[in-house]
Amino acid sequence: MNAPAEMAIKVEGLTKRFGDKAVVDHFSMEVPKGTIYGFLGPNGSGKTTTIRMICGLLTPDEGSGIVLGHDIATQSEAIKREVGYMTQKFSLYEDLSIEENLDFVARMYGMADRKRRVAEALERLGLASRKGQLAGTLSGGWKQRLALAACLIHDPKLLLLDEPTAGVDPSARRDFWDHIHELAHAGITVLVSTHYMDEAERCHALAYISYGKLLAHGSIREVIDAAKLHTWQIEGGQVMDVAEPLRASPGVEMVAPFGNALHVSGTDRAALERAVSEVAGRPGLEVREVAPTLEDVFIHLMREAGESARPEKGARHDFAGVPPQ
């Protein structure tokens, strides 16, 4: 029998309000040590606020938590020294060189033997050949490498990465994820928020948050199975001709284009099958049942959350009907 996993993060009932709005609403999560945990949800769903509470930058209004053995309410300074936090926006000094930025971060942590530690950080992320280049002249991918090097220079046990690959090209994204898996293999725990489904599929486990509430969590297979979603794929040259009729059919909860195909999904299998059968006989269309993808499931969860917590009429919306924070 396997021993229970030791938790790097264990938070219960976290709540944070700004005015009368609960941005995070009684949120609970456990992240085992040495895992890559994906944190997903639409813009304005409370991901960044949750991450800031976990790393000690925000104090929750309610709830409790232990991060790396430290209490988030009373030991936030100890947490900060063992966590590397990479924000959505590049936050280092653009008028300093790569090496100068890393030296500055090492000074902030009061690290001994700074010169050696900076040199190691430069080598680890392939930055040594550019160490004299000003950070402001770097491309998105190189800025990302520098930000990650700065997060790692003090040997953290936990990385909190808030949409770290936004605006980065696919090659740089792949290199970044190779580094993340190497770090997890070495025992570092990683909590990463992302909007990219291919990145979510690289994680060991996932949590999906919307309107400040946890809607789903577990391995990819567990999240997909828990949604109890059924999906049919319709392919053909004129496939968009049937999209609107299908959206109006009972049992169809979602119709999403994927290239020259539609994914038609719902939780009522019988009703969904009847709806699909009505268009299956059209010339040039091929219809078959497929396993729902992670993207199918998250679109389904997002729409379910939107129906149950629809913003007031006239409110300014961001993504998926969520008011911006």
Q: Render pLDDT for 169-201 as a digit per residue (tens, 0 to 9).
A: 888 888 889 999 999 999 999 999 988 888 899
Domain locations along the chain: 7-223, 230-291
Query: Which residues, other chains included, contact 59 with Cβ-Cβ below 8 Å and sequence gap of 6+?
Result: 53, 73, 76
Question: What is the model's pTM?
Answer: 0.84
Homologous superfamily in CATH for domain 230-291: RRM (RNA recognition motif) domain (3.30.70.330)
Mean pLDDT for 163-168 is 83
Query: Which residues, other chains included, contact 233 with Cβ-Cβ below 8 Å and sequence gap of 6+?
Result: 258, 261, 262, 263, 264, 287, 288, 289, 290
pLDDT at 3: 47
Residue 324 vs residue 94, higher pLDDT: 94
Tell me the sheet residues that pair with 257: 262
Residue 4 vs residue 285, higher pLDDT: 285
Residue 232: what residue type?
Answer: W
Which CATH number is 7-223's, of 3.40.50.300, 1.10.1200.10, 3.30.2350.10, 3.30.460.80? Answer: 3.40.50.300
Q: Give the residue carrying structure tokens 């995070």.
A: 24
DSSP string, 269-303: HHHHHHHHHHHHTSTT-EEEEEPPPHHHHHHHHHH
pLDDT tens-digit readout, 253-281 = 999 898 889 999 999 999 999 999 988 88
Residue 230 vs residue 1, higher pLDDT: 230
Cα(309)–Cα(312) distance, integer angstroms: 9
Cα(12)–Cα(31) distance, integer angstroms: 12
pLDDT at 317: 33
Domain 7-223 and domain 230-291 have a common topology: no
